[in-house]
Amino acid sequence: MKVVRTVAELQDITRQAKAEGKTVGLVPTMGALHAGHKSLIDRARKENDAVVVSVFVNPTQFNNPDDLRTYPRTEEADCALLKKSGVDYAFIPSVSEVYPEKDERVFDLGPVAEVMEGARRPGHFNGVAQIVSRLFEWAQPTRAYFGEKDFQQIAVIRRMAQVSGFDDIDIVACPIVREADGLALSSRNVRLTPEMRAAAPNIHRILADSLEYARTHTVAETEKHVEEQINAVPGLQTEYYTISDTLTMQPLSQWPESGKAVGCVTVYAGDVRLIDNITY
């Protein structure tokens, strides 16, 4: 595996690969890699000739300076996992390499970015669009892989790709990977205290149980039920639970007759902000 630190080198590598008729799979990450990332990498490995994984804690998507400061950074362990997973190129640039100048671009992300995380974390999705658009431009991937834990993020990236002319990139959504007790894997889980770690699997349990509840209750009743159940667990506090259309991300007032609904939740476990979702 080659560690690539500059944009110019990444561009050379991927240009060459494309010129040779090779497919390129890109897995964008912020490092602190875990089995969730590994599942994206394994899929990219299976489906492409060359695999590029980016490891970059993107400052423009953090609307909270403390969150950026405390975000785990584990480059050595990340490189070991990438090497073991058969990755060809690890793109690990510095902030000044990615942003030699301030990125002032404002993306037209439309309604998908205005609700839920978009409403609570001003500028977050624009920052995600800034970094992912740069990675798409530099790596020119055939396919790019994202985890469904960040369900809304995938809808936003699809929109960014559409308005920015990246229509030829196949955006591949990969299922959430969970611990044996149901907790969705997240780089932030390492910040959970033992008490919060013990409480956190209740989030998925309550979401999964709500599938049955939803059969005989309205969308609003189901949202209220899930919030109440989670808030009843000592240490957990929901920020929101919203049931939306899986494509438009717009909140639903009724269960859809066709198509699917997704319930997205954000929960504070102590001071750690966790997200998860379930499809109805």
Applying CB under 6 A, the residues found at the interface with ligand PAF are: 28-30, 58, 61, 128, 131-132, 150, 153
What's the CA gap between 83 and 69, in Å, rounded?
A: 27
Q: Which is nearer to ligand PAF, 153 or 266 (CB)?
A: 153
Q: Which is nearer to ligand PAF, 61 or 210 (CB)?
A: 61
For residue 2, the number of C-alpha atoms closer than 13 Å in the C-beta half-sphere is 12
- Residue 22: both structure tokens together: 């090779």
Q: How far is the CB of 241 from ligand PAF (least distance, A)?
A: 21
Catalytic residues: 37
Pairing of strands 272-279, 261-269: antiparallel
Q: Which is nearer to ligand PAF, 25 or 28 (CB)?
A: 28
Q: Which is nearer to ligand PAF, 30 or 92 (CB)?
A: 30
Cα–Cα distance list, 226 to 89, 157, 177, 220 (Å): 42, 28, 21, 10
**Is 48 in contact with 73 (CB distance < 8 Å)?**
no
What torsion, rounded to 10 degrees, do the Cα atoms 178, 184, 190, 192 define?
A: -120
